[in-house]
């Protein structure tokens, strides 16, 4: 019982010190469309996005043989714009390749056979 109480106390102390870099907190905060929209507007004001639809921990795969992708937050604008919002607490190796793979998978998953590349904007 003493071991359990020590672990519980340690967990509570860590939880109280958590911030937006905690995956759970980040997912809960960014899953709120208004907060997510504010972030997108701050980062990309030229897009004039009015509303977003948010999916948290979105799993994607281009096909059955492809590497799976788990997006922290995926958001879609009213015009079909796609956004991948990731939280990184460290700079991962091969970050650019990872970003390109995530975005190509987002587009591929939303594109039907014989559909133009503009069809990938639908996303909702």
Per-residue pLDDT reduced to its tens digit, 42-90: 888 887 778 887 776 666 666 666 677 777 777 778 777 888 888 787 8
Q: d(Cα 119, Cα 75) in Å, to the nearest integer? A: 17
What mean pLDDT is predicted for residues 107-119? 71
Please state, rounded to an integer, the average pLDDT across all residues of the chain. Answer: 79
Per-residue pLDDT reduced to its tens digit, 28-38: 888 888 988 88
CB 73 within 8 A of CB 60: no
Domain boundaries, the chain: 2-121
Across the beta sheet with 52-60, the strand order is: 52-60, 69-77, 82-85
- What b/e sequence results for 52-69 when a residue is b if at least 16 CB atoms lie within 10 Å of its CB, and e otherwise? bebebebebebeeeeeeb
| Main-chain dihedrals φ then ψ at residue 53, nearest 5 degrees | -115, 130
Q: Sign of dihedral through CA atoms 17, 18, 20, 21?
A: positive
């Amino acid at each position: 019982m003493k071991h359990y109480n020590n672990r519980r106390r340690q967990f509570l102390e860590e939880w109280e010190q958590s911030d937006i870099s905690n995956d759970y907190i980040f997912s809960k905060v960014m899953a709120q469309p208004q907060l997510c929209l504010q972030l997108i507007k701050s980062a990309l004001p030229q897009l004039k996005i009015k509303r977003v639809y948010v999916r948290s921990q979105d799993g994607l795969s281009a096909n059955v043989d492809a590497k799976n992708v788990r997006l922290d937050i995926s958001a879609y604008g009213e015009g079909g714009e796609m956004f991948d919002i990731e939280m990184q607490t460290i700079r991962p190796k091969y970050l650019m390749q990872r970003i390109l793979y995530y975005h190509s998978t987002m587009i591929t998953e939303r594109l039907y056979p014989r559909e133009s590349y503009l069809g990938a904007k639908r996303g909702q």
